[in-house]
Amino acid sequence: MESKLPFGKKNYQLMIIGVLTLVVGFVIMSSDQEQHGFGFLGLTLGPIIVMAGFIIEIWAILRKPSK
């Protein structure tokens, strides 16, 4: 019996990891104590983690599902 889901199990696992990475990045950006978020966390670390989350999401979507 073939699955009717568009992605494989590994794809969904990577998507969950990507979403969690995005959430962590946004939490880091919002926890910056500098005025208007202009510190290291809000301007450097948070956006890098968010970008990594988007890259993981794109990779999870474009990855060929394994059979």
Is residue 25 packed enough to be buried (19+ CB in 10 Å), middle (13-18) or exposed (0-12)? Answer: buried
Instruction: Kindly state whether residue 67 falls inside one of the protein's structural domains.
Output: no
Is the model more confident about 37 or about 41?
41
Q: pTM surpassing 0.85?
A: yes
Look up the domain containing 17 and give its range: 9-62
For the cut 70, the answer to whether the pLDDT of residue 53 exceeds it is yes
Number of structural domains in the chain: 1
- Residue 8: the pLDDT is 92
Band of residue 9 on the pLDDT scale cut at 50, 70, 90: very high
Beta-carbon contacts of residue 50 (< 8 Å; ≥ 6 apart): 21, 22, 25, 26, 29
Instruction: Kindly state whether residue 3 falls inside one of the protein's structural domains.
Output: no
Query: 55 in helix, strand or coil?
Result: helix
Instruction: Kindly state whether residue 54 falls inside one of the protein's structural domains.
Output: yes
- Residue 1: the pLDDT is 63
User: 56, 14 in Cβ contact below 8 A?
Assistant: yes
Instruction: Kindly state whether residue 2 falls inside one of the protein's structural domains.
Output: no
Query: 23 in helix, strand or coil?
Result: helix
Instruction: Kindly state whether residue 17 falls inside one of the protein's structural domains.
Output: yes
Instruction: Kindly state whether residue 57 falls inside one of the protein's structural domains.
Output: yes
Instruction: Kindly state whether residue 4 falls inside one of the protein's structural domains.
Output: no
